[in-house]
Amino acid sequence: MKYTWEMFCEYCEDVSIYSKARVENSIFITDPPAEDWITEWVGGNKHSILLHGNAGLGKTWCVFCLINRWINIAPRSPHSAKFVSCIDIQDRVEQNFAAYRSTKGVSDVLLDYSLLAIDDLGCESSGDMMERVLYRTINSRILRQLPTIISTNLSPEEMLNRYGARIYSRLKTYRWIEFVGEDLRSWR
């Protein structure tokens, strides 16, 4: 399936669930503030995005649509994108540590992309190695002004409790989009 912003907007209109999604206390529907963000990213304004809310509300689908828009907005320019789940990152951390006794290579690879999307933050097992990789990745991408999209089912309080003030403080620099409503998977 090809994920396009237009498909996402049409779907949101069909189920009318996103009339309740909020972007910094304003409405996030089909007028594409997120589409404007892609244009801003290409123009040099690199605000990252954090999508949060309960499971099944379309956060991952929205991520795919944003990535597709990013890649297609200027096909001849060097817009690379990487989608990775936190579980995949954790697997790579464990494999890298077993082979090299280090986790640094994992976050280095995640810096190679002009846009990085991390899906399901909070699904990974907690631990020092994973926390170091997440911190290094998030912090380095902020310092290099590389846009990042993170999706999570965690509430802001759960993120603070799970990741601590160092990571949470950096996540607060992102534009937060709260997805609310009923599980869309149950509508099918």
**pLDDT tens, position by position, 111-151:** 888 889 999 999 988 888 889 999 999 999 999 988 899 99
Neighbours of 77 (CB within 10 A): 9
**What pTM, to 2 d.p., does this model score?**
0.81
Task: Let me know the angle formed at the C-alpha of 115 by 63 and 141, rounded to the nearest 5 degrees.
Answer: 120
Per residue in 37-96, pLDDT (tens digit) is 666 666 666 678 899 998 888 888 888 878 877 777 755 556 688 899 999 998 988 888
Structural contact between residues 48 and 147, judged by C-beta atoms closer than 8 angstroms: yes
Domain limits, the chain: 5-187
pLDDT at 76: 55
More confident residue, 28 or 51: 51
Beta-carbon contacts of 116 under 8 Å, excluding residues fewer than 6 positions away, are: 81, 82, 84, 110, 137, 141, 146, 147, 148, 149
Look at the domain 5-187 and name its fold: Rossmann fold (3.40.50)
How many distinct helices (H) and strands (E) make up the chain? Answer: 7, 7
Q: Name the amino acid, one letter, at 69.
A: R
